[in-house]
Structures are given as C-alpha cells and as structure tokens.
Copies of this chain bind each other. A is one copy, B any other.
Amino acid sequence: MKELEKSTELKILEAAKLEFITKGFDGARMQQIATKAGINKALLHYYFRNKENLFKAVFGNVFGDFFPKIMTTFQSELSFFEKLRFFIDGYINVLNKNPKLPVFILHEIQHRPELLLNSLKEQGVNPKIIAGMVEAEMVKGSLKPVPVAHLLVNMLSMCIFPVVAAPIMREVLFDGNEKKYKNFLEERKQYVYEFIINTIKK
C-alpha cells in the first residue's frame, strides 16, 4: 500500500515537473497534470493542497540540477586541470539532457524571487569552496592570478548560455540544423576548457 502511495505521488511529481517546466507556473494546468499522471484532478489536491504547493515541490526537486552537484567532482584527487575538464564536460552533458530546465528556473525566479532564498538554503550551494580552491592554486603559483569570481562566472556562462539560448543559436548559427547544433555543443567541451586554460595557465 505504501508502495502504491509513493507510486502515485511520484507519478504526480513527474507529470507536474514536465508540465511546469514546459509551460511555466502560469501556463501549467492542474487538469493537464492530473491527466498526464493518469489520475483525477481532485487527487492532486489530496496529495498537494494546491497548485502553489505542488509547484514548490517540483521546483525544489529540480533546482539542484541547475547549480551542479558535479561540484563534488572538485573534491576528488584529480589534478586541477583534470577537475576543470570533468566539470565542464559533465555540466554541459547535464544541461543538454535537460535543456528546458535553466530557462524555467531563471524565469520563475525572476517573477517570484522568494523561491530563490528557500531553494538556496535547501541546496548547499557554496561557490566559496571552489573559489577558495582556485585561489589556493593561484597563491601556490601554479595558476596566473585572475579575479576568481569573474573566472567562475565566465565558466558557468559559457556552459549554460549556449543551452539556454539553444533555439536561437540553432537557427541563427546553424540554419535550424539540430545535428550541427549538437555537434557544436560537443566541440564546446573542448573549447571552453581551452578558453579557460588560456586565461589561467602561466
């Protein structure tokens, strides 16, 4: 019975995730979520009191994917440059598998800033660990000293933006050819890495 319970709740969450991410909070329809989940609409309200609650549940679930868990990679025993490579590679992969997620997050945060603070607390997002590590390398002398905040932002920008703006790029740069775009994303794993390296390699 608890199996079934969980299964229903999960079905709802999955359906809701799909609906919310593709349509946004305002565009999402409770009926549609119910239908996708294969249940009655009233059952949604039985599990999650209202739309707001359901949304928050979904948002909380997916927020973590935006700021990468891959950060744990950074605590491994690899060399700094290997870590960098792993990070870029993995992050572009994750984003590419959930291409609509970033815009969803950014859009909802822009309209309801309160979502952010809660989600940040729940996730243990702390760029300071990484920042500290990079700075350490610089002090050690193995990297050129550059402003770390900008370095990190540049790295994230170059990974995230091409996914966020995918529809535009596909069209403007590659005449709507999906394969060319995907190929471009693959190439990026290498070039973003080189780009960063260029800036910090002594």
Binding site for B on A (CB under 8 A): 22-27, 100, 103, 106-107, 109-111, 113, 116-117, 120, 125, 127, 146-147, 149-150, 153-154, 156-158, 160-162, 164-165, 167-169, 171-173, 184, 187-188, 191-192, 195, 198-199
Question: Once bound together, how far apart are the Cα atoms of A161 and B192, in whole Å?
Answer: 15
Contacts of A26 in B (CB 8 A): 23-24, 26-27
Nearest-neighbor residue (CB-CB) of A167 within chain B = B109
Nearest-neighbor residue (CB-CB) of A154 within chain B = B158
Question: Once bound together, how far apart are the Cα atoms of A100 and B109, in whole Å?
Answer: 11
Min C-beta distance of A190 to chain B, whole Å = 9
Contacts of A22 in B (CB 8 A): 111
A22, A113, A168, most chain B CB atoms within 10 A: A168
Closest 10 A-B residue pairs measured CB to CB?
A157-B161, A26-B26, A26-B27, A157-B157, A107-B107, A150-B191, A161-B161, A157-B158, A103-B106, A198-B199
Show 25 residue pairs from A and B whose CB-CB distance is below 8 angstroms, ordered by the A residue. Answer: A23-B111, A24-B26, A24-B107, A100-B110, A103-B103, A103-B107, A103-B110, A106-B164, A120-B172, A127-B172, A127-B173, A147-B191, A150-B188, A150-B192, A150-B195, A153-B169, A153-B188, A154-B191, A154-B195, A157-B158, A157-B160, A160-B161, A161-B164, A195-B195, A195-B199
